[in-house]
Structure 1
Amino acid sequence: MRKVYYGCTVVQLITVLVLFYLVTFGAFERPAPLPGSAGALIDYHIIVGELVIPLLSLLTTIVAAIARAGARLVTLSITPFALVAIQLFVVFSLAEMAGHTDERSTTGGLIVLGFHSLVGVAVLGVTAVLLHRARALAKGAVAATPAAARA
């Protein structure tokens, strides 16, 4: 089961890298349509970020628990889900409160939205750490629980 967990972390990291790639579709598309508009290429980034990453995070967390990967890895496995929730419910909400809309941007809104990329980098970092630790766990290089380490 630990190899399945490792496989889930590989898929998760690849998906996060795809997410970063897909953001360029929206950033460089001209004329720039609003998200949700017919044919808006940024929608691919939105779908992966709001749907695929959280679902993979939940799946990886469940597999980590089944594989008895330890509380730290289980907690780390759900972190991308939590970071996406922060994106959706904190960063974007604060940007709206600062006056940012789909039709108009404000300096305050843009400053807050700058954290969107930083949280995205945090998701990338967490998934990279997960991959590294899951690989070590699958190879048996680390003990699954602190109690096993003391024995």
Structure 2
Amino acid sequence: MLTIIAAVAKNKALGKNNDLIWRLPADLKRFKKITLGHHVIMGRKTFESLGRPLPNRTTIIISRNVSYKVEGCIVVHTLEAAILAAKEDKNPFILGGGEIYKQALLRADILDLTLVHHSFDDADTFFPDIDYNQWIEINREDFNADEQHAYDYSFVRYKKK
């Protein structure tokens, strides 16, 4: 099983300047809980925005640069190679960025999305279009904005039909 995990705004925004535009502490806690112990696959820019390998996860970085190396991480050059490098994990996660999500949508079995109920016009990275005819919603939790969360949001899991 291959899972895409992302926080996506109403206008499909993911971030700006290799960073999130919003801060939702509940999303970050959930992300950590779900991905702990798994292989996480991401593009080089996404990795560099994190600044380090994520603790208690196997980090796989996709980079076109054949000389790119990061201590403590697996570096590959294609999504297919990343999936192969994660073959021991029954549920590796795709963490982005936008181009990696686009490639992975064809291969993913699960979409685990945090839907941020707000549009961000200044974003420079976006989630690809989803053909919802290919997916079925299997779980949803809705939350209202509060003192820690500036926006309404939902945790939604989809399974490929």
Q: Aligning the two structures, in what range does the TM-score lie when normalised by the shorter sequence?
A: under 0.3
TM normalised by structure 2 equals 0.23
Higher relative contact order (CA 8 A, sep 6+): 2
TM normalised by structure 1 equals 0.24
- Bigger Rg over Cα: 1
Q: Structure 1 or 2: larger strand share?
A: 2
